């Protein structure tokens, strides 16, 4: 049994291939900067006891092309991990938005695909890419069971006082407008890892997922009680191309005064804002270079980015009525030491005090970055959404 896990982000596709019940992938990789300059595929595999990393730099216009690059690497003669694509028995797909009807891991049928498509307007950067990935996978691996694992599932425990919007009730009861939350697979995985690391099942945690998309969650004893994204992945933190929280009257102003259409407003908020709108780049590595060059826009953007995270830490510490640890994860959270430092500066009221030397030192696995003796742990925990998806695929298949 081989399980191929596909994790499509707004500008990337992460993947891992698992054999049998093993939690160790036989290969993994990342197709990154999709639709941006400098796109490439990084493929890692162990053959004959030797680790190999293959970097394929090429233009990758969209997620469909990215999936084709991925599939070719799995069977490329000199680094093949599969003799035949027919060996793949299951393909697990991360799907960002499941709405109120897709709330558990499920085998993908035409009906499930239709429901995912019906949610395009709620996740315009993601669900269309998921469908492309699913459809390409169905063509490439027709013998495999296609499975969807939903990012919204972990947030089902959020109480009504936190997931409702203060709008007339019929918009919730009839149209299901509410907070759904996203990155749930990641938040669930790293919060479980943190509880085990702290040896505290009832830990009060704030998980901070910072990538091209960014979100936070308040987790109490393994259950999510609040999260920063809302009806769609647009709300909350400043992101690569998304605004995060914004005064809704700005949207009215754009339509009344500037003549923006609904499509233009959506494109502006989802695809042209965030760090891209502030600095001209959606990639924090590019913004970091500009910051180090003294670029005013980049300096301001980094300060705004960190300030928004700090405000949510304060809010979630109040919601949790306590705080044992904050956890940084995902591409920026795990690798951008400067962003972590900015977030943790002047937070001593919450018992947050970062050790700058530890923070600047790269190391694998879970890292503890707080100064010894401080109240709140500062942890970096590499997320592994792909492993979590593989595990949920196995659980589903075991019940069928």
Q: Domain map of the chain by residue range?
A: 2-150, 201-380
Question: What positions carry a catalytic annotation?
Answer: 151
Q: For the CA atoms of the chain, what is the radius of gyration?
A: 21
Q: Which structure tokens are listed for 104?
A: 């558990």
Q: Which structure tokens are listed for 326?
A: 């904050």
Containing 360, the helix (H) or strand (E) segment is helix 356-360
CATH code of the region 201-380:
3.30.420.40
Do 2-150 and 201-380 share a fold?
yes
**For residues 276-293, b (16+ Cβ closer than 10 Å) or e, as one string?**
bbbbebbbbebbbebbee
Topology at the third CATH level for domain 2-150: Nucleotidyltransferase; domain 5 (3.30.420)
- Order of strands across the sheet with 214-220? 223-227, 214-220, 204-210, 325-329, 377-380, 367-368
What mean pLDDT do residues 82-104 have? 89
pLDDT in tens, 296-317: 999 999 999 999 999 999 999 9
pTM for this structure? 0.85
Q: Which structure tokens are listed for 357?
A: 């030397």
pLDDT tops 80 at residue 9:
no
Contacts with 327 (C-beta within 8 Å, 6 or more apart), sequence order: 190, 191, 194, 205, 206, 207, 208, 379, 380, 381
Binding-site residues, please?
7, 14, 94, 209-213, 283-285, 331-335, 385
Q: How far apart are CA 221 and CA 367, in angstroms?
A: 21
pLDDT tops 80 at residue 120:
yes
What mean pLDDT do residues 325-338 have? 97
- Distances 269 to 35, 191, 248 between C-alpha atoms, Å: 18, 30, 11
Rounded to the nearest integer, the mean pLDDT of the chain is: 93
Quote helix, strand, coil % in the chain, to nearest 5.
Answer: 40, 20, 35
169: three-class secondary structure by DSSP: coil
What pLDDT does residue 46 have? Answer: 87
Q: What percent of the chain clears pLDDT 90, i.e. is strictly above it?
A: 77
pLDDT in tens, 121-149: 888 777 888 888 898 889 888 999 999 99
Binding-site residues for ATP, please?
14, 209-213, 283-285, 331-335
What mean pLDDT do residues 31-41 have? 91
pLDDT in tens, 200-233: 999 999 999 999 999 999 999 999 999 999 998 8
């Amino acid at each position: 049994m081989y399980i191929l896990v596909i994790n499509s982000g707004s500008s990337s596709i992460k993947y891992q291939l698992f054999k049998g019940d093993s939690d160790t992938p036989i290969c993994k990789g990342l197709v990154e900067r999709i639709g941006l300059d400098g796109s490439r595929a990084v493929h890692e595999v162990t053959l004959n006891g030797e680790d190999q990393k293959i970097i394929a730099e090429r233009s990758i216009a969209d997620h469909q092309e990215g999936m084709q690059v991925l599939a070719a690497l799995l069977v490329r003669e000199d680094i093949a991990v599969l003799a035949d694509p027919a060996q793949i028995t299951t393909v697990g797909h991360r799907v960002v938005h499941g709405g109120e009807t897709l709330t558990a891991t499920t085998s993908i049928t035409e009906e499930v695909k239709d429901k995912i498509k019906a949610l395009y307007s709620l996740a315009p950067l993601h669900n269309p890419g998921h469908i492309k990935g699913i459809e390409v996978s169905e063509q490439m691996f027709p013998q495999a069971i296609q499975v969807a694992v939903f990012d919204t599932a972990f947030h089902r425990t959020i109480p009504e006082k936190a997931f409702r919007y203060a709008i007339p009730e019929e918009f919730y009861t009839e149209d299901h407008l509410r907070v759904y939350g996203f990155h749930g697979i990641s938040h669930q995985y790293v919060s479980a890892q943190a509880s085990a690391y702290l040896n505290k099942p009832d830990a009060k945690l704030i998980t901070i997922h910072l990538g091209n998309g960014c979100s936070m969650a308040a987790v109490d004893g393994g259950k999510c009680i609040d999260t920063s994204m809302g009806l769609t992945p647009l709300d909350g933190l400043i992101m690569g191309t998304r605004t995060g929280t914004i005064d809704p009257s700005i949207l009215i102003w754009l339509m009344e005064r500037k003549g923006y259409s609904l499509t233009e407003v959506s494109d502006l908020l989802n695809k042209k804002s965030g760090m891209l709108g502030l600095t001209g780049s959606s990639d924090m590595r590019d913004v970091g270079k500009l910051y180090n060059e003294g670029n005013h826009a980049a300096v301001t953007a980094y300060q705004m980015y960190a300030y928004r995270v700090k405000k949510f830490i304060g809010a979630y510490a109040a919601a949790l009525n306590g705080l044992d640890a904050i956890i940084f994860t995902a591409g920026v959270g795990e690798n951008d030491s400067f962003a972590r430092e900015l977030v943790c500066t002047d937070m001593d009221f919450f018992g947050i005090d970062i050790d700058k030397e530890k923070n600047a030192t790269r190391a694998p696995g879970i890292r503890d970055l707080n100064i010894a003796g401080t109240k709140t742990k500062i942890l970096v925990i590499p997320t592994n959404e792909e492993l979590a998806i593989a595990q949920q695929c196995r659980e589903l298949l075991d019940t069928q």
